[in-house]
Structure 1
Amino acid sequence: MNGILKLAFKLLVNDKGKYAALLVGITFAVFLMVQMTSIFSGILTKASSTVINLGAQVWVMDPAVTNVASSIPLPTYVLDAVRSINGVKYAVPLYSGSALVKLENGVFQFVTVLGLDDNSLLGHPELIEGKIEDIYAENAFVAVQDTEISKLGNPRPGTEFEINDHRGVIVGLAKVSVSGLFGIPTLYTTYSRAIQYIPSTRFTIAYILVEPKSNDVIPSIQDQVRQLGYVALTKQGFMQKIADYYKYQTGLGTNILIMTVVSFLVGLSISGQTFYTFILENLEKFGALKAIGAKGNELVYMIFFQATFSAIIGYGLGVGLCAVVITLAKLRIPEYSANITFTTLAFALVMVLIIAGISSYIGIRKVLKIEPFDIFRS
């Protein structure tokens, strides 16, 4: 069997032009599939940035909420009811809203404002300049130093701005795990200051952040919150709900799916056509092998090895090319959204193996039909 596979390898790489064309087709298809799915993965991660950065284990919200940016205010009594549930260690309110700020140079800029519980500051980010206790100072805000901070004029501690006719002061700079999706800077302050400075509806609680006494009581908390007419989602559950919203309720998921299918068809058509041409050009060699005693299953192994070997090499080249492009893009465009995940790599691998399987099938049908006397007769 080793001799058959060595022969198959030599036949494959003997025509460097055809082999290169085969690799280019598969590489291009893998590059597009990984690129599209990586961009989608990056977008979903950024869409859940608030959930990831705050890190609360359980989120209580209105059932109609589809993503973290479309919060529906909760009545105050819901907070009291959640705090009274058995198994809840503590529950705190979170303000989440947008505001228009006027910078020192007169430029206006929309920002996302997160108001943390005054007593616990649950979910506060890690500060790289200043102290989190300074958030209790008059007019105090903490700015997130991410790719969007330049839109605030790259403020430093002590920088002043105006928010809804109120004076605001940056008292610290924070770092977060994931920046936001829509290119809007983020400011943290206390809950009481947020509802005081920003016009709000009658209810001001966007979400209730719950810390359970143990993971075992989370199902019980969810059941009791459901009886109140609301939903309690774990961190992963909320992130999945956000992902489902962008996948199925917006055009984003459909567009990415179409581009991925097109990439698959491009790779399949190029590799299938090239591999079929390769089989036709080497038909005499396969016939000669059959004439000297090569069995049909050995020829099948040869063709399957050639297709699979080409697919794996093309897969590696495609993933490597995509990684280089994404790295260079992030160096030039810091807010570029693309994450290569194990799921993305596994999906692309399955697709490229399907391409190899179909290409093999095309070649196998042709080779198994050939008879040795047809070769020698010609």
Structure 2
Amino acid sequence: MKNFGILRIGFKLLVNDRSKFSALLVGITFSVFLMMQMTAMFAGILNRAYSTVTNVGAAMWILDPAVNTPTSVIPLPDYLLDAVRSMDQVRYAVPIFIGGAQVRLASGTYQSVSVIGLDDTSLFGRPQLEQGAIEDIYAENAFIMVHDAEFSKLENPRIGTAFELNDHRGTIVGIAKVLTSGLTGVPTLYTTYRRAIEYLPTTRFTISYILLEPRNEAAVSLIKQQVSKLGYIALTKDEFNQRIANYYIYQTGVGTNILMMTIISFLVGLSISGQTFYTFILENLDKFAALKAIGAKSRELIYMILFMATFTAMTGYGLGIGLVTLMISVARSNLPNYAAIITFWNLGLAFVMVLLIAGVSSYVGIRKVLRIEPFDIFRG
């Protein structure tokens, strides 16, 4: 606490110059807001891209090596399911069908939908129902509708609502909720695997993915090796999510654009705060020189400047986080499809960026203050 006095002087020196202090806060707050907004949007996009993997909840997925996202399905041969089920390390394995279709609604309009066909025996990956009973999925023409942001696109169906899918009659027997809405912006329907491949046109292979449960953690690597010998890949849930993230980051323009906007936001905050802090130091050089004249050491002045820069940066960081949180909350309450989310990852990234801004601003000020001599205040 021996430096408390010098830090108190620095605090008063900082906040008493309201115009410069306000400019510093505005610059850092705006920078944090932009960085958080960009990264929150990207995190929301990835969270939506993971939706199929998250909602199904399988421990491991078997897929074609060319598949990058759950929606870009490459069908698997039937013999692969038998081969996987015969592995000693596998507790159970089930097929799942994921496809797209056009449904004709009662009003006569058409709407694209995503259809997920669950294994007839186990119904593994079934959603939690808000209305109806899961056993009704075995009824004739039965489908379960997901109540998410796209629900209204099917004209807000209720249990008993009928529609037409590829000249087949479909009936809503349940309304379900899922952990995460999809990214593609289309409603999701669940049905049985057999009904899905019957209603939707398919290739000679109909299995989109094989979902399996390993017997234990040690079995995962052995399963991967055996599946690899068959010409396919087995991924855990986290590995599949990482594969999806890599696709959007490196193989689409989404990752690049978000990265560029984040860098620009950082540079904006750095330039505003750095220039303003440097101007603040210049205008108060006489005060720093006076402190030196009455015995303040260079180390104490460094502590003061670091404290001033860090205090301003952390205050701006808090204001920026609060502002972006408010905006996301308001947007999500009014725009159901708004995908931005705040995660520990983008909070940490923004925090590191703010520390860099504070560090650069401090360095600029420290260099100037250390060069000033006490006798400079007595000139003229």
TM-score of the pair, normalised by structure 1:
0.99
- Aligned counterparts of 2:218 and 2:56: Cα–Cα separation in 1: 22
AA of the residue aligned to 2:103: V
Q: For 2:115 and 2:216, how far apart are their aligned partners in 1? A: 30
**Which secondary structure state, in structure 2, belongs to the residue aligned with residue 200 of structure 1?**
coil
Give the AA of the match of 1:207. Answer: Y
- 1:331 is matched with 333
SS of equivalent residue, structure 1 residue 158: coil
What CA deviation, in whole Å up to 9, does each residue of 1:2-60 have, x standing for no partner? 10000000000011111011000000000000111011001000001000000000000
Contact in 2 for aligned 1:86/1:221 (Cα 8 Å): no
Matched, 1:101 2:103: yes
Which residue number in structure 2 is paired with residue 179 of structure 1? 181
The match for 1:205 among 203, 207, 210 is 207
Instruction: Determine whether 1:365 maps to 2:376.
Output: no
CA distance in 1 between counterparts of 2:373 and 2:213 reads: 73
Aligned match of 2:285:
283
Report deviation, 1:208: 0.2
State the distance in 1 between where 2:241 and 2:284 align: 53
1:105-116 alignment, distance < 5 Å: 105-116=107-118
Residue 9 of structure 1 corresponds to 11
Superposed, 1:208-247 pairs within 5 Å as 208-247=210-249
Answer with 207-216 or 37-46: which moved more.
207-216
Q: Which residue of 2 aligns with 1:250?
A: 252
State the distance in 1 between where 2:101 and 2:253 align: 27
CA offsets, 1:182-232, max 9 Å, x none? 210000000100010001111111100001122221111111111111000
CA RMSD between the two structures: 0.6
Give the aligned partner of residue 259 of structure 1: 261
What amino acid sits opposite 2:276 in the alignment?
Answer: T
Unaligned runs of 5+ in 1: none
Q: Deviations over 1:159-184 (max 9, x none)?
A: 00000000000000000000001210
Equivalent runs, 1:1-378 vs 2, <5 Å: 1-378=3-380
**Aligned counterparts of 2:69 and 2:162: Cα–Cα separation in 1:** 32
- Aligned partner of 1:178: which letter? T
Larger CA deviation: 211-220 vs 153-162:
211-220
CA contact (8 A) 1:113 1:194 kept: yes
Equivalent-residue separation in structure 2 for 1:93 and 1:158 (angstroms) = 28
Q: For the residues of structure 2 that align with 1:372 and 1:48, how far apart are their CA atoms?
A: 62
What is the rounded CA distance, in whole Å, between the counterparts of 1:259 and 1:89 in structure 2? 46
Q: Secondary structure at the match of 1:89?
A: strand
SS in 1 for 2:112: strand
Work out whether residues 160 and 168 of structure 1, in 8 Å CA contact, stay in contact via their aligned partners in 2: yes
Give, as a single letter, the amino acid of the residue that structure 1 aligns with 2:60. Answer: V
Counterpart-to-counterpart distance in 1, 2:235 and 2:215: 16
What SS does structure 2 have at the residue aligned with 1:90? strand
Runs of 4+ in 1 over 4 A off after TM superposition: none
Q: Measure, in 2, the Cα distance between the counterparts of 1:183 and 1:365.
A: 54
Q: Which runs of 5+ in 2 are unaligned?
A: none
> In 2, distance between residues paired with 1:55 and 1:299?
56
Per-residue displacement from partner, 1:54-82 (whole Å, max 9, x unpaired)? Answer: 00000000011011111110011111111
What is the SS of the residue equivalent to 2:213? strand
Cα distance in structure 2, aligned partners of 1:217 and 1:33: 41
**8 Å CA contact 1:146, 1:179 repeated in 2:** yes
Cα distance in 2 for partners of 1:360, 1:368 equals 12
Q: Which amino acid aligns with 2:228?
A: R
After superposition, what is the alpha-carbon deviation per residue over 1:85-127, rounded to whole angstroms, capped at 9, x for unaligned? 1111111111000000000010100000000000000000001
Structure-1 separation of matches of 2:331 and 2:121:
42
1: distance between equivalents of 2:337 and 2:216? 37
Bigger mean CA offset, 217-226 vs 115-124: 217-226
Q: Which amino acid aligns with 1:324?
A: L
Work out the CA distance in 2 between the residues paired with 1:273 and 1:146: 47
CA distance in 1, matches of 2:98, 2:283: 66
C-alpha distance in 1 between matches for 2:207 and 2:184: 22
User: Which region of structure 1 is more displaced relative to structure 2, 125-134 or 209-218?
Assistant: 209-218
